[in-house]
Protein backbone atom coordinates (compact mmCIF):
# COMPACT_ATOMS: atom_id res chain seq x y z
CA UNK A 1 0.00 0.00 0.00
CA UNK A 2 1.56 3.34 -1.00
CA UNK A 3 2.18 5.99 1.63
CA UNK A 4 1.89 9.68 0.75
CA UNK A 5 4.45 11.96 2.38
CA UNK A 6 3.84 15.74 2.17
CA UNK A 7 6.88 17.90 1.40
CA UNK A 8 7.74 21.47 0.53
CA UNK A 9 8.93 22.15 -3.04
CA UNK A 10 12.42 22.76 -1.66
CA UNK A 11 12.58 19.55 0.36
CA UNK A 12 11.19 17.59 -2.60
CA UNK A 13 14.00 18.89 -4.82
CA UNK A 14 16.58 18.04 -2.15
CA UNK A 15 15.22 14.53 -1.69
CA UNK A 16 15.15 13.84 -5.42
CA UNK A 17 18.65 15.26 -5.83
CA UNK A 18 19.89 12.94 -3.11
CA UNK A 19 18.25 9.97 -4.81
CA UNK A 20 19.84 10.93 -8.14
CA UNK A 21 23.25 11.40 -6.54
CA UNK A 22 22.95 7.91 -5.06
CA UNK A 23 22.12 6.53 -8.50
CA UNK A 24 25.20 8.22 -9.94
CA UNK A 25 27.39 6.76 -7.20
CA UNK A 26 25.99 3.22 -7.27
CA UNK A 27 27.51 2.02 -10.55
CA UNK A 28 30.79 3.91 -10.11
CA UNK A 29 32.41 1.09 -8.16
CA UNK A 30 31.20 -1.48 -10.66
CA UNK A 31 32.26 0.43 -13.73
CA UNK A 32 28.68 0.92 -14.94
CA UNK A 33 27.02 3.85 -16.68
CA UNK A 34 28.96 7.06 -17.22
CA UNK A 35 25.95 9.41 -17.16
CA UNK A 36 22.61 9.39 -15.35
CA UNK A 37 19.44 10.25 -17.27
CA UNK A 38 16.46 11.68 -15.39
CA UNK A 39 13.03 12.76 -16.62
CA UNK A 40 10.41 14.83 -14.83
CA UNK A 41 7.14 13.96 -16.56
CA UNK A 42 3.96 15.96 -16.14
CA UNK A 43 1.41 18.18 -17.80
CA UNK A 44 2.42 21.82 -18.13
CA UNK A 45 -0.17 22.53 -15.43
CA UNK A 46 1.92 20.44 -13.00
CA UNK A 47 5.02 22.59 -13.71
CA UNK A 48 7.52 19.82 -14.44
CA UNK A 49 10.03 22.41 -15.61
CA UNK A 50 10.01 24.10 -12.21
CA UNK A 51 10.95 20.87 -10.44
CA UNK A 52 13.54 19.99 -13.07
CA UNK A 53 15.13 23.43 -12.70
CA UNK A 54 15.09 23.07 -8.92
CA UNK A 55 17.22 19.93 -9.17
CA UNK A 56 20.14 21.68 -10.86
CA UNK A 57 21.69 23.51 -7.92
CA UNK A 58 21.32 20.67 -5.37
CA UNK A 59 22.96 18.28 -7.83
CA UNK A 60 25.81 20.67 -8.56
CA UNK A 61 26.35 21.15 -4.83
CA UNK A 62 26.77 17.36 -4.69
CA UNK A 63 29.49 17.62 -7.33
CA UNK A 64 27.39 16.50 -10.30
CA UNK A 65 27.43 18.40 -13.60
CA UNK A 66 23.92 18.88 -14.96
CA UNK A 67 22.54 19.39 -18.45
CA UNK A 68 18.94 20.60 -18.63
CA UNK A 69 16.87 19.68 -21.68
CA UNK A 70 13.24 20.64 -22.28
CA UNK A 71 10.92 18.53 -24.37
CA UNK A 72 9.33 21.69 -25.75
CA UNK A 73 12.62 22.36 -27.57
CA UNK A 74 12.30 19.04 -29.41
CA UNK A 75 8.89 19.40 -30.99
CA UNK A 76 8.32 18.55 -34.63
CA UNK A 77 7.84 21.33 -37.20
CA UNK A 78 4.37 22.88 -37.37
CA UNK A 79 3.63 21.18 -40.69
CA UNK A 80 3.81 17.81 -38.89
CA UNK A 81 2.32 18.85 -35.54
CA UNK A 82 -0.72 20.44 -37.15
CA UNK A 83 -1.25 17.99 -39.98
CA UNK A 84 -4.62 17.04 -38.44
CA UNK A 85 -5.46 20.53 -37.21
CA UNK A 86 -4.26 22.74 -34.41
CA UNK A 87 -6.39 21.11 -31.71
CA UNK A 88 -6.14 17.37 -32.28
CA UNK A 89 -5.48 15.64 -28.93
CA UNK A 90 -4.33 12.39 -30.54
CA UNK A 91 -1.74 14.26 -32.58
CA UNK A 92 -0.65 16.09 -29.43
CA UNK A 93 0.05 12.75 -27.76
CA UNK A 94 1.45 10.83 -30.71
CA UNK A 95 3.03 13.32 -33.09
CA UNK A 96 4.11 16.56 -31.45
CA UNK A 97 7.26 15.38 -29.68
CA UNK A 98 10.20 14.42 -31.90
CA UNK A 99 11.19 11.38 -29.86
CA UNK A 100 13.59 10.23 -32.56
CA UNK A 101 15.53 13.49 -32.30
CA UNK A 102 15.72 13.13 -28.51
CA UNK A 103 17.16 9.65 -28.93
CA UNK A 104 19.63 10.78 -31.57
CA UNK A 105 20.75 14.10 -30.10
CA UNK A 106 20.36 13.61 -26.34
CA UNK A 107 20.16 9.97 -25.25
CA UNK A 108 22.46 8.23 -27.74
CA UNK A 109 25.49 10.42 -26.85
CA UNK A 110 25.00 9.39 -23.21
CA UNK A 111 25.03 5.68 -23.87
CA UNK A 112 28.11 3.73 -22.66
CA UNK A 113 30.98 4.71 -24.91
CA UNK A 114 29.07 7.75 -26.17
CA UNK A 115 30.59 11.14 -26.90
CA UNK A 116 28.79 12.96 -24.06
CA UNK A 117 27.99 15.77 -26.52
CA UNK A 118 24.34 16.72 -26.05
CA UNK A 119 22.24 19.01 -28.24
CA UNK A 120 20.34 21.18 -25.73
CA UNK A 121 17.71 22.47 -28.18
CA UNK A 122 16.63 21.50 -31.68
CA UNK A 123 13.50 23.37 -32.76
CA UNK A 124 11.86 26.66 -31.77
CA UNK A 125 8.10 26.08 -31.95
CA UNK A 126 7.40 29.82 -31.89
CA UNK A 127 9.48 30.74 -34.95
CA UNK A 128 9.11 27.21 -36.38
CA UNK A 129 12.81 27.15 -37.18
CA UNK A 130 15.82 25.12 -36.10
CA UNK A 131 17.59 26.69 -33.14
CA UNK A 132 21.02 25.89 -34.62
CA UNK A 133 22.30 25.25 -31.09
CA UNK A 134 25.80 23.89 -30.57
CA UNK A 135 26.32 20.56 -28.86
CA UNK A 136 27.58 20.86 -25.30
CA UNK A 137 29.70 18.34 -23.40
CA UNK A 138 28.32 16.66 -20.30
CA UNK A 139 31.24 15.52 -18.18
CA UNK A 140 31.43 11.91 -16.98
CA UNK A 141 29.39 11.52 -13.82
CA UNK A 142 26.99 14.17 -15.09
CA UNK A 143 23.21 14.14 -15.00
CA UNK A 144 20.77 14.82 -17.80
CA UNK A 145 17.51 16.33 -16.52
CA UNK A 146 14.70 16.31 -19.07
CA UNK A 147 11.23 17.70 -18.43
CA UNK A 148 7.97 17.76 -20.32
CA UNK A 149 4.52 16.25 -20.72
CA UNK A 150 3.71 12.78 -22.02
CA UNK A 151 7.30 11.50 -21.82
CA UNK A 152 6.75 7.98 -20.54
CA UNK A 153 6.02 4.95 -22.70
CA UNK A 154 8.44 6.10 -25.41
CA UNK A 155 11.28 3.73 -24.47
CA UNK A 156 13.61 6.54 -23.47
CA UNK A 157 16.61 5.02 -21.64
CA UNK A 158 15.94 6.67 -18.29
CA UNK A 159 17.69 5.88 -15.05
CA UNK A 160 15.01 7.69 -13.04
CA UNK A 161 11.54 8.80 -14.14
CA UNK A 162 9.52 11.10 -11.88
CA UNK A 163 5.84 11.60 -12.69
CA UNK A 164 3.94 14.64 -11.44
CA UNK A 165 0.36 13.51 -11.02
CA UNK A 166 -2.66 15.77 -11.15
CA UNK A 167 -6.16 14.53 -10.50
CA UNK A 168 -8.45 15.05 -13.52
CA UNK A 169 -10.21 17.86 -11.65
CA UNK A 170 -6.93 19.62 -10.81
CA UNK A 171 -5.63 19.15 -14.34
CA UNK A 172 -8.77 20.74 -15.79
CA UNK A 173 -8.78 23.54 -13.23
CA UNK A 174 -5.13 24.44 -13.77
CA UNK A 175 -5.09 24.12 -17.56
CA UNK A 176 -5.75 27.43 -19.34
CA UNK A 177 -8.98 27.54 -21.34
CA UNK A 178 -7.08 27.81 -24.63
CA UNK A 179 -5.24 24.54 -23.89
CA UNK A 180 -8.11 22.42 -22.60
CA UNK A 181 -8.36 20.69 -25.94
CA UNK A 182 -5.29 18.71 -24.76
CA UNK A 183 -7.18 17.12 -21.84
CA UNK A 184 -8.32 14.05 -23.83
CA UNK A 185 -4.65 13.39 -24.66
CA UNK A 186 -3.83 13.22 -20.94
CA UNK A 187 -6.83 10.98 -20.30
CA UNK A 188 -5.61 8.62 -23.01
CA UNK A 189 -2.04 8.80 -21.66
CA UNK A 190 -3.33 7.86 -18.21
CA UNK A 191 -5.33 4.93 -19.58
CA UNK A 192 -2.72 3.55 -21.98
CA UNK A 193 0.64 4.35 -20.37
CA UNK A 194 -0.42 4.35 -16.70
CA UNK A 195 2.34 6.79 -15.79
CA UNK A 196 2.13 6.18 -12.04
CA UNK A 197 3.11 2.57 -12.68
CA UNK A 198 5.63 3.39 -15.42
CA UNK A 199 7.50 6.01 -13.36
CA UNK A 200 10.04 5.20 -10.68
CA UNK A 201 8.63 7.91 -8.42
CA UNK A 202 5.31 9.75 -8.33
CA UNK A 203 4.61 13.15 -6.86
CA UNK A 204 1.07 14.31 -6.23
CA UNK A 205 1.08 17.87 -7.44
CA UNK A 206 -2.49 19.15 -7.17
CA UNK A 207 -1.20 21.99 -4.98
CA UNK A 208 2.22 23.18 -6.25
CA UNK A 209 2.97 24.63 -2.80
CA UNK A 210 2.43 21.26 -1.10
CA UNK A 211 3.71 18.40 -3.24
CA UNK A 212 3.46 14.92 -1.80
CA UNK A 213 5.81 12.05 -2.60
CA UNK A 214 4.15 8.69 -3.08
CA UNK A 215 6.23 6.02 -1.36
CA UNK A 216 5.51 2.37 -2.13
CA UNK A 217 5.51 0.35 1.08
Neighbours of 178 (CB within 10 A): 8
What's the pLDDT tens digit per position in 117-165?
999 999 999 999 999 999 999 999 999 999 999 999 999 999 999 999 9
Nearest by Cα to 9 from 215, 208, 171, 201: 208
Q: Give the pLDDT of residue 217.
A: 46
**DSSP-assigned beta bridge partners for residue 136:** 118
What's the mean pLDDT when you consider all of the chain? 94
Mean pLDDT for 36-53 is 97
Mean pLDDT for 90-110 is 97
Cα torsion 44, 48, 50, 52: sign: negative
145 vs 37: CA distance, rounded Å:
6
Mean pLDDT for 71-79 is 97
Please state the domain extents for the chain.
2-204
Q: Under a CB-based contact definition with an 8 Å cutoff, are residues 70 and 146 in contact? A: yes
Which residues are CB-contacts of 164 (< 8 A; sequence separation ≥ 6)? 40, 41, 42, 43, 46, 47, 48, 51, 202, 203, 205, 211
Say whether pLDDT at 25 is over 80.
no
Superfamily classification of domain 2-204: P-loop containing nucleotide triphosphate hydrolases (3.40.50.300)
Q: Under a CB-based contact definition with an 8 Å cutoff, are residues 101 and 158 in contact? A: no
Q: Under a CB-based contact definition with an 8 Å cutoff, are residues 48 and 42 in contact? A: yes
Cα torsion 61, 62, 67, 68: sign: negative
Of the chain, the percentage scoring pLDDT greater than 70 comes to 95
77: alpha, beta or left? (left if phi > 0; alpha if psi -120 to 50): beta
Say whether pLDDT at 29 is over 80.
no
108 vs 124: CA distance, rounded Å:
22
Q: Under a CB-based contact definition with an 8 Å cutoff, are residues 32 and 113 in contact? A: no
Q: Under a CB-based contact definition with an 8 Å cutoff, are residues 4 and 213 in contact? A: yes
Mean pLDDT for 65-91 is 97
Say whether pLDDT at 31 is over 60.
no
CA distances from 14 to 8, 54, 111, 132, 135 (A): 10, 9, 26, 34, 29
Name which residue leads in pLDDT, 47 or 3.
Answer: 47
Say whether pLDDT at 100 is over 90.
yes
Q: Give the pLDDT of residue 98.
A: 98
Amino acid sequence: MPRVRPLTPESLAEELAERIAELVAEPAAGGGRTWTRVAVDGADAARPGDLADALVEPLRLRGRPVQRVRARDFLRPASLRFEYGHHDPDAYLDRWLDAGALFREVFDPLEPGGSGLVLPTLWDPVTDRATRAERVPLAPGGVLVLDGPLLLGRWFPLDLAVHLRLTPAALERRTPEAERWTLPAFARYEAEIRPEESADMTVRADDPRRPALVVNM
